[in-house]
C-alpha cells in the first residue's frame, strides 16, 4: 500500500496483531474488525480489558462498535476530513511528540518555493495539468533537490508511483542522506511542519462536524483520547481495512492516519503503529509477490512503455542514492537470475530489453474496459469471482461475454464461470446464451488442505500450510496448473525462432514434482524466492547478501532469508508458550528479516534509550555496541545512535544513527510525500465520485486525479451534490462484509453451516429512512443507481444513523452487504452491481464504500423490465440535468 509505503518506506502493516494488546488507545476506522477479523480482534479485547480506550469511527454501529468504548458515526467517504481535523487539533494545541517529530519525520525539511498548497489553489496542488489530468510533481520537491528520476527521463513523464513507489525512492540530490535545507526548530514558513499547519488550518472541529455529520463533542473526545494516550509513556494504534482503501481517495486517507501517527510518535513503538487489516489469506503476499500488472516481486517496478529506454535508465530511475533502495540493482538482477538463470547475463542486460512494458494503467478495471471494447481474447481467473466481487458486476459479465476463451479455476462453479447461462443479463435478455461466443473452461481447484504452500498474512507473516490429503479427481493446485501450463507452452515454443519467444525459451522452469499427479514441490519454489548464491547453491540469509553482478539469484528480495540455512523458516511452529516474549519470533517468518514490528528503532529515543520503561522494545546496548530488544532490530545492528554518514556515503551507509526509517532515502517518516503519489504530497478532503454534497473546502469537489471511465456506456455515474437529477439518487450507500460470509461468497455460500447464518441479501436502513421511503421491516426494497438495480430484504435498525450535516441537512445512509450472487446454497442480488468503476489514481481501487443510490419499497422488476427500469431512472435524472 503506497499510503504506508510512501510514508514509512514499506507497503505493509507497521505492527503485528498481538502487539495491539499493548496499546493504550486503539482507533478502528475504515474497518469492522470484530466482524471481519474476529480472531485478530481478541487482541483489541485484551487491550480493552487492560483499560485501553477503543474508538470505532464508522458510518454504521457494528459488532465492532458494540465492543468499543466509544463509537462515532460519520458519513461514508468523509474520513480525510475527520483525520485532517485530528491533525489540526494536534497542531493547534501543540499535542505532538516534538522530539520524535523533529528527529524521525521530515517535518523540518524545507520545500521548494514553487510549491502551492490546495489551500491557496482552491483544491489543487501546484503542477496540475488540466489537459493531461495529472500532476507534474516537480514543484513538490525538497528545496535544493531534483525530484528523483534522473536526467533524460523527466520529459518522458513517468516516475515510480502507486505500488511501485512502495519504496518511496525519492532521494535524488540528498547529500549523505540529509535533505539540503532543514529547520530543526520547525519554524521556517516553508518547512513541512508549517506547510502541514497551514494545510489543515481550516479543518476545525466545526468543519469536521459539518462534513462528517458527527458532533463536535464526539470529535473532540476522539482527539483528546488519542493525544492523551500518546507520547513517551503511552501509545495509540490505528486499525484500518478496505473501509479506507475502497475510495477514490483511499491512499490519501491512509496517508492522513500516517501523519497523525507520526505527529503523535506512535510508529515503530509497542502498542502503536498502523495495522492494515487485509481481507484475504494472502492479500499481502499477492502484492509482495505480486499478481499485479505494475510491479515485479518485492515492489520492483515493471518497465514502462514511456520510460527506461535502456537498462541504465531503469536502474538509475529506481535506485535511491541512499537508504536500502540504494541496492535496487542487486534486487533486480537477482530476480532476473531467478527468472531466467544462465540466460540472463550482464552482456544481454539481464534480458531487460525483452521484458514486457506496461502503460500507466493496465489494472483489472482497465482490462474490463478492454474486454468491453473487444480488445481482450483470453482471460484466466484463478480463485476470484469478479461477476460478484468487483464493482459494476454487470460490466464484468458483459465483458466476459466478449471473450474468445475464459478459464475459471475454483472449488465450486461460481457466478463468473456460469455467466453465460445463469446470470442477471441472461435473465434480462441482455445476453443470449446461444449468442455468446466465449469458450469456457472450468477447472476444479485444490483446497488449502490439499496442497503445500505459504500465505503472507496481514502482518507480513509468511506461514506455511502443509498438504493433508491428495486432491480428488481433476482437482489441482494453482501451482500444478501454472507449472504444467508453462511446461506445455515451453514445449510448443521450444523450436520457435520468433523474437517474441525469447523470454519464454529463456524462462527457468524446472521444479521437482511428486505424487501420481506430478504436483510441483512448493518448497522448491519457496527456495527460489528466498534466494541462493549461484556458484555454491548456498541459501541466502537475507537481502543484504544480494549482489548486482549476477552471482546471486532471488525471486523476491524482501522475502530473502525465508529459507535461510536450507530450513523452511515459514513452517516454524514453536508454540508461543515456549517462546521468550509475546513477539514469538520463532513462529513462522515475517518480512523483512523476520521483524514483527518494523521501524522499531523508533521505539528508542535519538540516543538509543527507550522513550520510557513502559514502552521499552528495541534499544542500543552501549556495552555490547549493538541494538537489542524483544524483536529483530529494524536497523543495522551495530550502527550507533550517534553515527553520522561520511561525505559521499551510499545506500544504507548514508542513513544517520538517529533515522529509523531505513527504507527512506532520508531515513525519516514522511509527513509530506515529495514523490510517489499521483494526487498530492498531502491528503486533502475531496468528496467521493458520487455524494450528495459539494466540497465544503474547495470548488474542486472530488479528487481531481481520480480515474473515471469517460464515455464508457456500461459505467455511467449518478448526478451529484446540487447537480440537477441528483435527487433521483439522494442517499449515501456503503457496502461491507458480515462475519458469516467471505467477500463474493464463493467460499461461504457453498458451506451449509455458514449459509444458514446469513441466508439472504438484506439492506440496513434507519427507521426514519424507512418511513421516508415507505420501507417495511422484513419486507423487500429495491435499491438503484444509474448502473443497475437490486433487491434486498429490509432490516430496519437504529445502528445506521441519519446524520445531521451542514445547515441542518440530514443525510441517510443505506448499508449493503455484498456477499450474494445468483448461485450457491443461498442466493441473492449482488450489491456490487450497483457500484461504479471510478478509481483511486494510485492503486486503481474502486469506490464501493461510498456512492449514491435511490431506494423504494418492493421487489425489483424482473426480466427485460429491469434494464428498462434502470434506464428510465437514468433518463429522469438526465432530463433533470
Sign of the CA dihedral running 53, 210, 120, 141: positive
Q: Provide the minimum distance between the beta carbon of 306 and other proteins in the complex, in angstroms, as a whole number.
A: 6
Residue 343 Cβ, how far from other proteins at the closest point, in Å? 11
CB neighbours of residue 635 within 10 Å: 28
The count of chain residues that interact with other proteins, using the rule CB under 8 A, is 225
Asked whether 730 and 384 are in contact (CB, 8 A), the reply is: no
DSSP 625: T
Examine residue 126 and tell whether it contacts other proteins (CB under 8 A).
Answer: no
Query: Hey, which residues between 322 and 361 contact other proteins (CB under 8 A)?
Result: 339, 353-359
Q: How far is 382 from 170, CA to CA, in rounded Å? A: 36
Q: Report the residue from 436, 597, 632, 811 that binds other proteins according to the rule CB under 8 A.
A: 436
Distance CA 826, CA 295 (A): 38
- Tell me how far, at minimum, the Cβ of 322 lies from other proteins, in Å: 29
Written as nine digits, the cell of 753 is 453451516
Q: Which of 344, 540, 556, 655 binds other proteins (CB under 8 A)?
A: 556
Give Cα 862 to chain centroid, integer Å. Answer: 37
Does 383 bind other proteins (CB under 8 A)? Our answer is yes
Q: Are 448 and 418 in contact (CB under 8 A)?
A: no
Compute CA distances 423 → 212, 311, 400, 826, 827, whole Å: 38, 48, 12, 15, 12
Residue ranges in 828-857 that form contacts with other proteins under rule CB under 8 A? 843-846
CA–CA distance, 176 with 322 (Å, rounded to integer): 7
282 binds other proteins (CB under 8 A): yes
CB nearer other proteins, residue 63 or residue 659: 63
How far is C-alpha 291 from the geometric centre of its chain's CA atoms?
14
Q: How far is CA 346 from the centre of its chain?
A: 35
Region from 224-232, 258-266, 629-637, 714-722 binding other proteins, contact rule CB under 8 A: 224-232
Per-residue binding letters, 617-646, with other proteins (x by CB under 8 A): ------------------------------
576 binds other proteins (CB under 8 A): yes
* Shortest CB 225 distance to other proteins, Å: 6
Please list, in sequence order, all residues whose beta carbon lies within 8 angstroms of the beta carbon of residue 459, skipping any fewer than 6 positions away.
12, 13, 15, 16, 17, 275, 590, 596
**Binder to other proteins among 218, 631, 791, 833 (CB under 8 A)?**
218
**Per CB under 8 A, does 119 bind other proteins?**
no
Q: Report the residue number, 86 or 259, with the smaller CB distance to other proteins.
A: 86
Specify the stretch interacting with other proteins by CB under 8 A; choose among 260-268, 325-333, 364-372, 636-644: 364-372
Beta partners for residue 855, in sequence order: 783
Shortest reach from residue 55's CB to other proteins, in Å: 10
- Kindly identify the residues of this chain, within the stretch 481-540, that bind other proteins according to CB under 8 A: 481-486, 488-489, 492-493, 498-500, 503-504, 506-507, 509, 520, 522, 525-526, 528-529
One-letter-per-residue 3-state SS of 456-522: ECCCCEEEEECCCCCCCCCCECHHHHHHHHHHHHHHHHCCCCCHHHHHHHHCCCCCCEECCCCEECH
Taking CB under 8 A as the criterion, which residues in 715-734 touch other proteins? none
Find the distance separating the first CA and the last CA of the chain, reported in whole Å: 38
Q: Least separation, in Å, of the C-beta of 653 and other proteins?
A: 31
Spatial CB neighbours of 62, under 8 Å, sequence gap ≥ 6: 32, 34, 35, 56, 799
For the CB of residue 381, give the shortest distance to other proteins in the complex, in Å.
5
Report how far residue 793's alpha carbon sits from residue 652's, in angstroms, rounded to the nearest whole number.
Answer: 58
Contact present, 730 and 690 (Cβ < 8 Å): no
Strand partners, 763: 794
Q: How far is the CB of 32 from other proteins (least distance, A)?
A: 11
Q: Nearest distance from residue 754's CB to other proteins, in Å?
A: 5
Give the binding range for other proteins (CB under 8 A) out of 171-179, 255-263, 305-313, 538-546. Answer: 305-313
Q: What is the largest CA-CA distance in the chain?
A: 80
Cα distance between residue 523 and residue 543, in whole Å:
19
Of 91-99, 138-146, 253-261, 544-552, which part binds other proteins (CB under 8 A)?
91-99
Query: DSSP assignment of 275-327, as one string?
Result: EE--SSTTTTHHHHTT-STTEETTTEEPPBTTS-SSHHHHHHHH--SBSGGGG
Q: Which of residues 774-833 bind other proteins (CB under 8 A)?
A: 777-778, 793-795, 797-799, 801, 824-826
41 scored as a contact of other proteins (CB under 8 A): yes
421 is a site residue for other proteins (CB under 8 A): yes
Candidate list 125, 128, 331, 455; residue touching other proteins; CB under 8 A: 455
Q: DSSP label at 27?
A: E
382 contacts other proteins (rule: CB under 8 A): yes
Q: Which stretch binds other proteins (CB under 8 A): 120-128, 132-140, 302-310, 685-693?
A: 302-310
Contact between residue 836 and residue 689 where contact means Cβ atoms under 8 Å apart: yes
Interface with other proteins, residue 118, by CB under 8 A: no
Asked if residues 354 and 345 have their Cβ atoms less than 8 Å apart, the reply is no
Does 700 bind other proteins (CB under 8 A)? Our answer is no
Contact string 1-20 vs other proteins (x = CB under 8 A): ---------------xxx--
Closest CB to other proteins among residues 423, 657: 423
In the complex with other proteins, the residue whose CB is nearer, 89 or 141, is: 89
CB 874 to other proteins: min, Å: 25
Q: Is 377 in the site for other proteins (CB under 8 A)?
A: yes
Within 93-112, the residues that bind other proteins by CB under 8 A are 93-95
Q: Quote the DSSP letter at residue 687.
A: B
- CB closer to other proteins out of 116 and 382: 382
292 sits near other proteins (criterion: CB under 8 A): yes
Q: Does the footprint of other proteins cover residue 155 (CB under 8 A)?
A: no
Q: Which stretch binds other proteins (CB under 8 A): 317-325, 650-658, 674-682, 747-755?
A: 747-755
Chain positions 45 to 64 lying near other proteins, rule: CB under 8 A, are 45, 49, 61, 63-64
Q: Are 60 and 232 in contact (CB under 8 A)?
A: no
Which of 22, 29, 71, 672 forms a contact with other proteins (CB under 8 A)? Answer: 71
Cβ(385)–Cβ(414) below 8 Å: yes
- Residue closer to other proteins by CB (options 390, 615) is 390
Smallest distance from the beta carbon of 199 to other proteins, in angstroms?
Answer: 19
| Per-residue interface string for the shown chain with other proteins, residues 227-266, x marking contact by CB under 8 A | xxx-------------------------------------
Task: Provide the minimum distance between the beta carbon of 618 and other proteins in the complex, in angstroms, as a whole number.
Answer: 18
Contacts of other proteins in 652-681 (CB under 8 A): none
CA dihedral 206, 212, 216, 217 (to 10 degrees): -170
State the cell numbers at 755. 449459509
Q: 3-class DSSP state for residue 878? A: helix
The distance of closest approach from Cβ of residue 396 to other proteins in the complex, given in angstroms and rounded to an integer, is 10
Binding residues among 176-215 for other proteins as defined by CB under 8 A: 205, 214-215
Cis check for the bond before 493: say yes or no (omega within 30 of 0): no
Choose the binding region for other proteins from 570-578, 607-615, 651-659, 722-730 (rule: CB under 8 A).
570-578
**Dihedral of the alpha carbons of 635, 640, 641, 643, in degrees to the nearest 10:** -100
Q: Toward other proteins, which CB reaches closer, 17 or 256? A: 17
Cell digits for 344?
540472463
Amino acid at each position: 500500500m503506497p499510503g504506508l509505503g510512501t510514508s514509512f518506506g514499506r507497503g505493509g502493516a507497521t505492527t503485528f496483531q498481538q502487539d495491539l494488546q499493548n496499546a493504550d488507545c486503539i482507533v478502528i476506522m475504515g474497518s469492522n474488525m470484530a466482524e471481519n477479523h474476529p480472531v485478530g480482534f481478541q487482541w483489541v479485547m485484551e487491550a480493552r480489558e487492560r483499560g485501553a480506550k477503543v474508538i470505532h469511527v464508522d458510518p454504521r454501529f457494528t459488532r465492532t462498535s458494540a465492543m468499543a468504548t466509544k463509537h462515532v458515526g460519520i458519513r461514508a467517504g468523509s474520513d480525510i476530513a475527520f483525520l485532517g481535523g485530528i491533525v489540526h487539533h494536534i497542531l493547534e494545541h501543540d499535542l505532538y511528540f516534538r522530539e520524535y517529530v523533529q528527529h524521525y519525520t521530515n517535518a523540518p525539511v524545507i520545500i521548494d518555493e514553487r510549491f502551492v498548497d490546495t489551500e491557496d489553489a482552491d483544491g489543487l496542488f501546484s503542477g496540475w495539468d488540466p489537459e493531461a489530468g495529472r500532476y507534474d510533481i516537480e514543484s513538490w520537491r525538497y528545496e535544493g533537490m531534483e525530484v528523483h528520476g534522473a536526467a533524460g527521463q523527466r520529459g518522458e513523464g513517468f516516475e515510480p508511483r502507486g505500488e511501485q513507489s512502495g519504496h518511496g525512492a525519492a532521494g535524488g540530490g540528498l547529500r549523505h542522506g540529509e535533505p539540503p535545507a532543514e529547520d530543526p526548530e520547525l519554524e521556517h514558513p516553508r518547512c513541512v511542519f508549517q506547510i502541514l499547519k497551514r494545510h489543515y488550518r481550516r479543518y476545525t472541529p466545526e468543519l469536521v462536524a459539518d462534513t462528517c455529520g458527527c458532533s463536535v463533542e464526539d470529535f473532540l473526545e476522539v482527539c483528546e483520547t488519542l493525544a492523551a494516550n500518546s507520547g513517551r509513556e503511552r501509545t495509540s494504534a490505528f486499525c484500518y481495512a478496505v473501509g479506507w482503501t475502497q475510495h477514490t481517495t483511499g491512499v490519501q486517507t491512509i496517508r492522513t492516519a500516517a501523519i497523525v501517527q507520526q505527529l503523535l510518535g506512535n510508529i515503530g513503538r509497542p502498542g502503536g503503529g498502523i495495522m492494515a487489516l487485509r481481507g484475504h489469506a494472502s492479500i499481502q503476499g499477492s502484492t509482495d509477490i505480486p499478481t499485479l500488472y505494475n510491479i515485479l516481486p518485492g515492489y520492483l517496478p515493471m518497465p514502462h512503455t514511456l520510460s527506461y529506454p535502456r537498462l541504465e535508465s531503469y536502474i538509475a530511475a529506481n535506485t535511491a542514492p541512499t537508504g536500502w533502495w540504494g541496492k535496487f540493482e542487486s534486487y533486480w538482477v537477482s530476480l532476473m537470475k531467478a527468472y531466467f538463470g544462465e540466460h540472463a547475463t550482464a552482456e544481454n542486460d539481464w534480458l531487460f530489453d525483452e521484458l514486457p512494458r506496461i502503460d500507466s494503467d493496465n489494472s483489472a478495471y482497465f482490462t474490463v474496459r478492454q474486454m468491453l471494447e473487444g480488445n481482450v481474447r483470453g482471460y484466466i481467473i484463478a480463485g476470484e469471482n469478479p461477476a460478484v466481487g468487483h464493482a459494476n458486476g454487470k460490466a464484468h459479465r458483459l465483458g466476459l461475454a466478449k471473450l474468445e476463451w475464459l478459464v475459471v479455476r475454483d472449488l465450486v462453479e461460481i457466478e463468473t464461470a456460469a455467466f453465460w447461462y445463469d446470470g442477471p443479463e441472461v435473465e434480462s435478455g441482455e445476453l443470449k446464451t446461444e449468442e455468446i461466443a466465449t469458450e469456457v473452461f472450468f477447472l476444479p481447484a485444490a483446497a488449502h488442505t490439499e496442497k503445500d504452500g505459504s500465505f503472507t498474512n496481514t502482518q507480513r507473516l509468511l506461514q506455511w500450510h502443509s498438504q493433508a490429503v491428495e486432491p480428488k479427481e481433476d482437482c489441482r493446485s494453482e501451482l500444478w496448473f501454472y507449472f504444467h501450463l508453462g511446461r506445455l507452452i515451453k514445449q510448443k515454443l521450444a523450436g520457435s525462432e520468433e523474437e517474441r519467444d525469447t523470454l519464454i525459451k529463456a524462462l527457468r522452469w524446472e521444479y521437482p514434482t511428486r505424487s501420481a499427479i506430478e504436483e510441483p514441490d512448493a518448497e522448491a519454489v519457496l527456495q527460489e524466492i528466498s534466494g541462493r548464491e549461484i556458484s555454491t547453491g548456498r541459501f541466502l540469509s537475507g537481502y543484504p547478501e544480494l549482489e548486482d553482478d549476477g552471482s546471486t539469484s532471488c525471486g523476491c528480495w524482501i522475502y530473502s532469508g525465508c529459507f535461510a540455512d536450507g530450513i523452511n523458516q515459514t513452517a516454524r511452529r514453536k508454540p508461543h508458550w515456549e517462546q521468550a516474549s509475546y513477539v514469538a519470533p520463532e513462529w513462522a517468518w515475517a518480512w523483512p528479516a523476520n521483524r514483527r514490528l518494523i521501524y522499531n528503532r523508533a521505539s528508542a529515543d535519538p540516543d538509543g534509550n527507550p522513550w520510557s520503561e513502559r514502552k521499552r522494545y528495541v534499544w542500543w546496548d552501549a556495552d555490547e555496541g549493538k541494538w537489542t530488544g524483544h524483536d529483530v532490530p529494524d536497523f543495522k545492528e551495530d550502527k550507533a545512535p550517534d553515527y553520522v554518514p561520511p561525505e559521499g556515503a551510499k545506500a544504507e551507509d548514508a542513513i544517520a544513527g538517529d533515522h529509523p526509517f531505513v527504507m527512506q532515502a532520508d531515513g525519516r517518516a514522511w509527513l509530506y510525500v515529495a514523490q510517489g503519489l499521483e494526487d498530492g504530497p498531502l491528503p486533502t478532503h475531496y468528496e467521493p465520485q458520487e455524494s450528495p454534497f459539494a466540497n465544503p473546502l474547495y470548488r474542486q469537489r472530488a479528487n481531481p486525479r481520480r480515474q473515471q471511465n469517460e464515455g464508457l456506456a456500461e459505467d455511467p455515474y449518478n448526478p451529484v451534490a446540487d447537480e440537477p437529477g441528483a435527487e433521483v439518487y439522494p442517499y449515501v450507500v456503503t457496502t461491507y462484509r458480515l462475519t458469516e460470509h467471505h467477500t463474493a461468497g464463493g467460499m461461504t455460500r457453498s458451506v451449509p453451516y455458514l449459509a444458514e447464518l446469513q441466508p439472504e441479501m438484506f439492506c440496513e436502513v434507519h427507521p426514519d429512512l424507512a418511513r421516508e421511503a415507505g420501507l417495511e421491516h422484513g419486507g423487500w426494497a429495491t435499491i438503484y443507481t444509474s448502473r443497475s438495480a437490486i433487491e434486498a430484504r429490509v432490516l430496519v435498525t437504529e445502528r445506521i444513523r441519519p446524520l445531521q450535516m451542514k445547515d441542518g441537512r440530514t443525510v441517510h445512509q443505506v448499508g449493503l452487504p455484498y456477499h450474494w450472487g445468483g448461485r450457491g446454497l443461498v442466493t441473492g442480488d449482488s450489491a456490487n452491481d450497483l457500484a461504479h468503476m471510478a478509481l483511486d489514481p494510485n492503486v486503481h481501487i474502486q469506490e464501493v464504500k461510498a456512492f449514491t443510490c435511490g431506494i423504494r419499497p418492493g421487489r425489483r422488476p424482473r426480466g427485460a423490465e429491469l434494464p428498462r427500469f434502470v434506464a428510465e431512472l437514468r433518463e429522469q435524472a438526465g432530463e433533470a440535468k
